[in-house]
Structure 1
Amino acid sequence: MKFGQDYQAALQREEFPQDWVESAISYKKLKKCIKRVQQELNGLGLDQDTLNALWQHVSTGTEALSDDNVASRMLHYTFDGNDKVRFVPKLTIALDPRDGSPMDAWLSPSTRRHLRRLSRNSKPLVDVEEVSPSAPNGGDADNSETDATEATDTTEASEEQQHSEIETVEIPLTSDSEFFQILRRELRSLDGLQHKEQQTISDDISRLAHQLQDLKASKKKRSKQDIEQWRRLFELYAESEVFRSSHEADAGARDVEHAQKQLQLFTKSVQEQRVKGALVSKESNEAMDRFLKINIDLLRLMRFQEMNRIALSKILKKFDKRTALHARAAIPESLRSGAAVSQDLARGTCYTIANELMSVIPQVNDYLCPVCFSITYKPVRLACNHVFCIRCLIIMQREEQSHCPMCRADVVLKADSDNVDQKLMAFLEKNFKAEVKEKQKANEIAAAIDRFGEPYMEPLKCSVM
């Protein structure tokens, strides 16, 4: 089955909203337009084989004539105008100023006749480029051309003189312009759709963030219980790395298939650990459903975006293959880097989730001591700004380790009670009561062992007979 058929079938199979399907790149329509471009080029004697040979001749000729750069101007395919308003593709071919024939004498007679006639009928479009003086001893252009013609049959120098003046003719390609105007219009429509849907997702995240802030500010006991479940949910979400990976092997944005797999694993973990089932309030249950829906909506938008990105790549590749115009190397940047085909959608949304949602309910993993990997209590902030729990700092000072384990700054032995971060300590006591209590108990036991030795622990141990 051809790509166009697969593409249309996938648009329907994924059950995208109708306005999404209508905004998608019309691959079939653009493919028909390519046929009209082919017909127009054939009518000018510039069929696919002729253009491919011409490009090849330009490529090899550029090396041979690098001094005056004539061959590099024998054929151009460019876009004229402002791509934000209107741009027009142009095919420019160098002509011999003596008779208006293309510089490449090997072209077929019919092609040469077409181009010569086009040159005569489009004089306002002709540009003259001078590479070197063409009329020595004060002679005019006509005399220089006559001299060059006479010298052609006798000396090698005359070949250089032949290229002293280069006329270029711009070939208007109506169907070509139509193809890119349609494509640009559809990409603009896709950009607008994506901005709209992305804004909807961002608004949903903001509303959910306000709901969590209200839940966190509540003094009700059930609200405190729900907060712990949300903390667990965000912990599982961070571990799943649904849309972006922080692992060295595959760091960066995930593709749609991998993101879908990770989202399924995350949802399964939530169900297995009964995170949602442990919520007490109706509002929290609805909010958690909304969070899961945000991720599903983002995944669906990413899938739609990826399908259009592939369709864009395929249709431009087909355009170049059928027309031999090398358009992909010349198209405006706006057609290649618009929001509709960019790969930054997941990154932007993940950033919003982290800053607006997950920041409302802090995660204990963000406040772990880099030495013992438990909560950083009591937190000691060194002069280098790295933070360690007081127990680990005492051990480092006792062993006379003067350098910070993170940055190797000579600051450890200089720390004292003034380095305890009171503000951070209050924050940890407020948000991680269970973890702080467990760490305090562990510190007390460790301090007692330091003072009284291991036998101190024997009475505290319970043995089962």
Structure 2
Amino acid sequence: MKFGQDFEATLARGEYPPEWVNSAISYKKLKKCIKRVQQELLSLGLDKDTLDALWKRVGSSDLGADQGTADGLLQYTVDDGEKVTFTPKLTIVIDPRDGSPMDAWLSPETRRILRRLARSSRAHIDHTVQRDDSPDEQRRPTGESGSENDKHQLELVEVPLTADSEFFQTLRHQLACLDDLQRSEYARLQAEINQLGSELRALRASKSKRSKKEVETWRKIFELYSDAEVFLSSHEADAGARDGAHAQKQLQTFTQSLSAQQKKAPFRLGDNANTALSRFLQINVNLVRLIKFQEINRTALNKIMKKFDKRTSLPAKSSVEQSLTKSSPFIVQDLAKATCFTISEEVLSVIPQLNDYLCPICFSISWRPVRLRCGHLFCIRCMIVMQQEENNHCPLCREAVVMEATEKNIDCEMVKFLLANFKVDVKEKQRQNEIAAGIDRWGAAYEHAQKDKCVVM
């Protein structure tokens, strides 16, 4: 199936709202514009083969090499300096004495058309370039020689491209519609995320036992969500933003994990919390859909520009990429990164996650956290072990700061924070630390005694 048909079928499946479909790249309309551009160029004697040969000749010509692309024998540019209109320009060097195009090898019909065009455009000549070894100099009869006074100026005349202008105006309008759509959808997502964040802050601020249980439930939900890495991957093999298909797959993994957790230990959420959870899931669904819509339109733009270049032999793709797309947020903005940052700041950070407070050595909660002079933080048990082994180097930065640490290095504010947010985990870590301290004092028998629930006097 050709891309155009596949693109139309994707838009027609009903996955995207009607207003999104109406704002999408009109691939079929732009293809019709390309046909009109081909017909217009053909009427000027500049069919695809002729233009291909012209570009090849320009690429190897002395003037093109000496004067650069701006003053070569043939130029094609897409000017959008005012960010309002696109004006495609095709300019050709002519001999001002008779209006003939300087490429003498062109067919007689093409030369007649361009000569007539040049003569009618004399009042609108943009600028001139100097050339000593023009084709006319080379075509002088034997015995005639040029002198310094015979050297003449070469004129650049613009070839009007009406259909070309239509193509780029249509494309600019469609990208503007996509930009407007993205702004409105992104604003809607932001509003939903902010509202959810406000509800979670209110829940966390509540002192009721029910609210505390709901906070713990949200902590489990966000832990599953972080593990799924729906939009951004931290794995070395595929680090960075995920594409739409992969993000959709990871979102399904998250919802499946959520369902499995519900069966294992049902979440105890009130009506408001259930509504908030539904909103959180819908935010993610909408973001995946917007990313996929962005991707198919980016592909459509890339395909249509390649088709334009191939069928017309006018190198528009590079010009458009340098000007048009740079000013289009829909084309250049990474929605996944931007929205994930907002979700993290406004929602996930409201409910602290245990993974953010693990000791880098034992990977359990950093209970009675010791902050070394270098700034790194570890649980007190791991610091005691390192001091017993006389290991003075910080495991993270290798600075010699471990042996100098005392109880004064315990971060008291962090102790309060951990107690307030991770009471169950703190209690378990305290139990483990007591067992480890008993083993240090009485040996391995102490651990067995604890398992047998014996009391060692």
Q: 1:288 aligns with which of 260, 266, 277?
A: 277
Q: Is the 1:244–1:347 Cα contact (8 Å) retained in structure 2? A: yes
- Over the matched positions of the two proteins, sequence identity in percent amounts to 55
Q: What pairs up with 1:414-453 in 2 under 5 angstroms? A: 414-453=404-443
Task: Describe the shift of the 1:462–1:163 C-alpha distance in structure 2 as closer, same or farther (beyond 3 A).
Answer: farther
Question: What TM-score do you get using the length of structure 2 for normalisation?
Answer: 0.92
Superposition pairs for residues 81-120 of structure 1, below 5 Å? 81-120=80-119
Show the 5 A alignment for 1:227-246.
227-246=215-234
Look up the SS of the partner of 1:267 in the other structure. helix
Aligned equivalents of 1:67 and 1:157: distance in 2?
A: 24
> Following the alignment from structure 1 to structure 2, what is the Cα–Cα distance between the partners of residues 74 and 118?
16
Alpha-carbon distance between aligned partners in 2 of 1:373 and 1:346, rounded to the nearest angstrom:
29
1:64-463 to structure 2, matched below 5 A, reads: 66-67=65-66, 73-131=72-130, 149=137, 152-153=140-141, 165-274=153-262, 277-331=266-320, 333-337=322-326, 338-342=328-332, 344-462=334-452
Letter in 2 for 1:207: Q
How far apart, in 2, do the equivalents of 1:150 and 1:216 lie? Answer: 87
How many angstroms apart in 2 are the aligned matches of 1:268 and 1:70?
Answer: 57
- Match of 1:205, as an amino acid? I
Contact 2:69 2:75 in 1 (8 A): no
SS of the residue aligned with 1:120?
Answer: helix
**Counterparts of 1:156 and 1:269, CA distance in 2:** 89
Offset of residue 345 of structure 1: 0.5
Alpha-carbon RMSD: 2.8
- The secondary structure found in structure 2 opposite 1:92 is strand
Q: Is residue 89–residue 158 contact of structure 2 (8 Å, CA) maintained in 1?
A: yes
Per the alignment, residue 45 of structure 1 pairs with 45
Helix, strand or coil at the partner of 1:434: helix
Corresponding letter in the other structure for 1:46: L
SS of the residue 2:154 aligns to: strand
Where 1:331 maps in the other structure, the secondary structure is: helix
**Pair 353,315 (structure 1): closer, same or farther in 2 beyond 3 Å:** same
Q: How far apart are residue 342 of structure 1 and its match?
A: 2.9
Q: Is the 8 A contact 1:191 1:340 kept in 2?
A: yes
Distance 1:177 1:150, change over 3 A: closer
Q: How far does residue 392 in structure 1 lie from its aligned partner after superposition?
A: 0.9
> What TM-score, normalized by structure 1, do the two folds share?
0.90
SS, match of residue 77 in structure 1: strand
One-letter amino acid of the counterpart of residue 181, structure 1:
Q
> Compared with structure 1, are the counterparts of its residues 332 and 170 closer, same or farther at alpha carbon in structure 2 (3 Å cutoff)?
farther
How far apart in 2 are the matches of 1:162 and 1:5?
A: 59
Q: Structure 1 381/57 Cα, relative in aligned 2: closer, same or farther at 3 Å?
A: same
Residues 391/49 of structure 1: CA separation in 2 closer, same or farther (3 Å cut): same
Tell me how far 1:118 sits from its aligned partner: 1.0
* Cα distance in 1, alignment partners of residues 110 and 97 from structure 2: 17
Name the CA distance, whole Å, in 1 between partners of 2:304 and 2:200: 46
CA contact (8 A) 2:64 2:73 kept: no
Question: Structure 1: where are the runs of 5+ without partners?
Answer: 135-143
CA contact (8 A) 1:83 1:334 kept: no
User: In 1, Cα distance between the equivalents of 2:148 and 2:306?
Assistant: 37
Alpha-carbon shift at residue 318 of structure 1 (Å): 1.2
Change (3 A) 1:426 1:463: closer
Distance in 2 separating the partners of 1:347 and 1:50:
46
Give me the whole-angstrom Cα distance separating, in 2, the residues matched to 1:155 and 1:229.
98
Describe the SS at the equivalent of 1:278: coil
Task: Give yes or no for contact 1:61–1:71 (8 Å, CA) kept in 2.
Answer: no
**Deviation, structure 1 residue 367:** 0.7
Letter in 2 for 1:224: K
- Structure 1 window deviating more from structure 2 (332-341 vs 183-192): it is 332-341
Whether the 8 Å CA contact 2:55–2:74 is kept in 1: the answer is yes
Maintained 8 Å contact 1:58/1:72 = no
Cα deviation code 1:314-355 (max 9, x no counterpart): 111111111110100212635324222235001111111111
1:379-408 Cα distance to aligned partner (Å, 9 max, x none): 111122111111111222222222211111
* Greater mean deviation of Cα atoms: 415-424 or 372-381: 415-424
Q: How many angstroms does 1:156 deviate by?
A: 12
Q: Which residue is 1:35 aligned to?
A: 35
Decide which moves more: 164-173 or 442-451.
164-173
Deviations, residues 175-222 of structure 1 (Å, cap 9, x unaligned): 111110111011011101011001101110110011111111112222
Structure 1 residue 55 corresponds to structure 2 residue 44:
no
Q: Is the 8 A contact 1:128 1:166 kept in 2?
A: no
Q: Name the residue aligned to 1:24.
A: 24
Partner SS, residue 39 of structure 2: helix
Relative to structure 1, the CA distance from residue 33 to residue 67 in structure 2 (aligned partners, 3 Å threshold; closer, same or farther) is closer
Q: Secondary structure at the match of 1:14?
A: coil
Measure the CA separation in 2 of the matches of 1:366 and 1:385: 16
3-state DSSP of counterpart to 1:117? helix
Specify the alignment match of 1:139 in structure 2: none
Q: CA separation in 2, counterparts of 1:418 and 1:129?
A: 80
Structure 2 portions without partners, runs of 5+? none
Q: Which amino acid aligns with 1:227?
A: V
Opposite residue 207 of structure 2, the aligned amino acid is: K
